Chain A
Amino acid sequence: MLISEETRKKLAELKDKYPTRQASIMPALHLVFDEFGYLGVEQLDEAADIIGVSRLDMNETASFYTLFPKQKVGKYLIQVCTNLSCALMGADNLVEYLEEKLGIKLGETTPDGIFTLWNVECLGSCGTAPMMQVNDEYYEDLTREKVDELIENWRKGEGS
């Protein structure tokens, strides 16, 4: 079993919370995602069994939602918004700078498994562009200096 005892308990509580079992799928996806940082088929199958829905329904719903990576990603999932307002304010330069700094291209993960770099659509933060989301946090009004500082801190935290 992959899912921790604690998450299993929370999943079990969801089971009969809503008028249908199917409705516990979205909250369940978030619980599993919070523990693993991605949704693999094994985790989804286990969670489906706990909340009492079919494994097929669970996987089918999960596949629709792009917030959840379906494979393991870096410890820091860097998602730069490249939609229009951010693009006008230099999101493309930000992506290029991150690519250069991390030595990877959009969509890739650093070999040490620490950083993954993606671009995403509007994050509802267009007035503080350019911006990016890293795991659950928003980082706004980004400049090269701010990016340097952030990456340095995260690297330090990893002892590399």
Chain B
Amino acid sequence: MEKILFKHIDTPDQNKIETYMANGGYTALPKALKEYKPEELVEMVKKSGLRGRGGAGFPAGVKWSFLPKGTDRPVYLIVNADESEPGTFKDRQLLEYDPHQTLEGTIISAYAINCHDAFIYFRGEFAYAAKVMERCIEEATEKGFIGKNILDSGYDLNVHIFRGGGAYICGEETSLMESIEGWRALSRQKPPFPAGEGLWRCPTIINNVETLSNVPHIVNKGAEWFASIGTEKSTGTKIYCLSGHVNRPGNYELEMGVNLKELIYEYGGGILDDRPLKAVIPGGSSTPVLKADEIDVKMDFESLAAKGTMLGSAGVIVMHDGTCMVSALHRLIHFYEHESCGKCTPCREGTNWMQKILTRMIRGEGKPEDVDLLFDIASNVIGNTVCPLGDAAAMPVMSFVEKFRDEFDNICNGGKPKGTLKFPFK
């Protein structure tokens, strides 16, 4: 398969505008501005079937069409470069090595939704990526791709860089907007949805870096071409992030719907030290875990949903037989407890309580009834919170306990954790 987003990821200096243009960059932008009206681009993206790569898989063109028609309020576009879901590291590579691709996608998408101020929100730790993008914006402005009257089209656009401060919750769209507005990033109750009332209560579209990076290619090669790649309902390619106990970790751009087993054993070179596989988290830490015998599954939105899990951000975390599932879950819950914004009780208290239980389990102080208690708390958090972080914390807990119950029971009945993860926190 020919790569789309990663075609030039290893080309030296691809993050400079000359190289990007020599490799066919910034050809989609003039085409979009001259040949299409904004609403035609929205239709094109709809027809391509492009779905959000940030986690939920919502069709991008459909989201764009939710914007109010003929509004006199400013419309904002936010590029979500907060990438903080454990196991996910694709956006960083796109932004460091081929940032103009994302920027060109941003400019075209902004034009399509009549936006004149776009924001790229980087997680605070991505200082290098933000610096690179700052230079890219200057380069693109010099060439007349950003600013007033872009390529004589009469269209104006500013692109602003915003940097977060180390909070996972800022990846959630409403928290992210609170953060840009300068507040503590507490999630907002939805509705209203951002397309109606977003940044500064104005209509706002927010999309992931990888989602928008596809847009120039769709403009250049057409919606039908894009829709012909992948599966019927999950079109295009996907960047799968492979980490954990695997021989060749890294990012792999493959068609939507690649088999998970093939991804791990062929692309990833199999399990570290040739050990037996124990479990795989398929879509970032928030998605339900799969057991070793459940990985003969296609990596697309529908196929994973049919297996009771999710494609999410496609952060595939591989664990071999030496992994203590109780300790592994403890790491994840420690994360969610730390990142809960604290706005709603089930998430704030639930993550804290689950963390306490798991800590006592790995210290060998768990009681036999703790396993049911842990599951019960998670099942009372899920579906009962303001934003999906609560679900994101509950899903790993429920799936770990359901699928590896014997390990939890063992530890709570005086057995030892048998993994290599060491110090419990707090």
Contact = CB atoms under 8 A, between A and B. Distances in A.
Interface string B235-251: 00000011111000111
Size category of the binding interface on chain A: 35 or more
Interface in B143-200: 162-168, 179-185, 200
B242 to A, nearest CB: 7
A133 B423 CA distance: 20
B182 A24 contact: yes
Interface in B72-98: 83-89, 91-92
B165 A26 contact: yes
A128 interface: yes
A124 B83 contact: yes
A79 to B, nearest CB: 9
A54 to B, nearest CB: 11
A66 interface: yes
Interface string A116-158: 0001111111111100010011100000000000000000000
Given A25-B182, A133-B125, A84 B86 contact: yes
Contact of A84 (B89, B125, B165, B285): B285
Contacts of B162: 26-27
A96 B422 contact: yes
Interface string B411-425: 000000000111101
A26 to B, nearest CB: 6
B328 A64 contact: no
A67 interface: yes
A109 interface: no
B422 A126 contact: no
Contacts of B317: 84-85, 88, 126
B335 interface: yes
B89 A127 contact: yes
B124 interface: yes
B335 to A, nearest CB: 5
A100 to B, nearest CB: 14
Contacts of A60: 184
A59 to B, nearest CB: 11
Given A85-B243, A124-B88, A127-B251, A64 B200 contact: no
Using C-beta atoms within 8 Å of the partner chain, give the interface range for chain B: 35 or more
Contacts of A19: 200
A38 interface: no
Nearest to B131: A136
Contacts of A61: 182-184
B367 interface: no
Given A26-B162, A66-B167, A84-B331, A121 B339 contact: yes
Contact of B166 (A20, A65, A126): A65
Contacts of A121: 84, 86, 168, 335, 338-339
Contacts of A122: 84-88, 285, 335
Contacts of A26: 162-165, 179-180, 182
Interface string B313-332: 00101010001000010011
A13 to B, nearest CB: 13
Interface string A48-68: 000001000100110111111
Contacts of B373: none
B184 to A, nearest CB: 4
Contacts of B338: 121
A102 interface: no
A126 B241 contact: yes
Contacts of A63: 184
B305 interface: no
B128 interface: yes
Contacts of B179: 26
B164 A67 contact: yes
A67 B285 contact: no
Given A65-B124, A121-B86, A124-B84, A92 B420 contact: yes
Interface of B: 83-89, 91-92, 123-128, 162-168, 179-185, 200, 241-245, 249-251, 281, 285, 315, 317, 319, 323, 328, 331-332, 335, 338-339, 420-423, 425
5 contacts: A26-B164, A83-B335, A84-B281, A125-B89, A127-B251
Given A61-B183, A122-B87, A124-B89, 13 more contacts: A53-B182, A64-B167, A64-B184, A66-B167, A82-B331, A83-B285, A83-B335, A88-B245, A88-B317, A93-B422, A121-B338, A126-B89, A136-B128
Which 7 pairs of residues, A with B, have the shortest CB-CB distance?
A65-B165, A67-B166, A25-B182, A22-B182, A126-B243, A122-B86, A85-B243
Interface of A: 19-20, 22-27, 29-30, 53, 57, 60-61, 63-68, 82-85, 87-90, 92-93, 95-96, 119-129, 133, 136-138
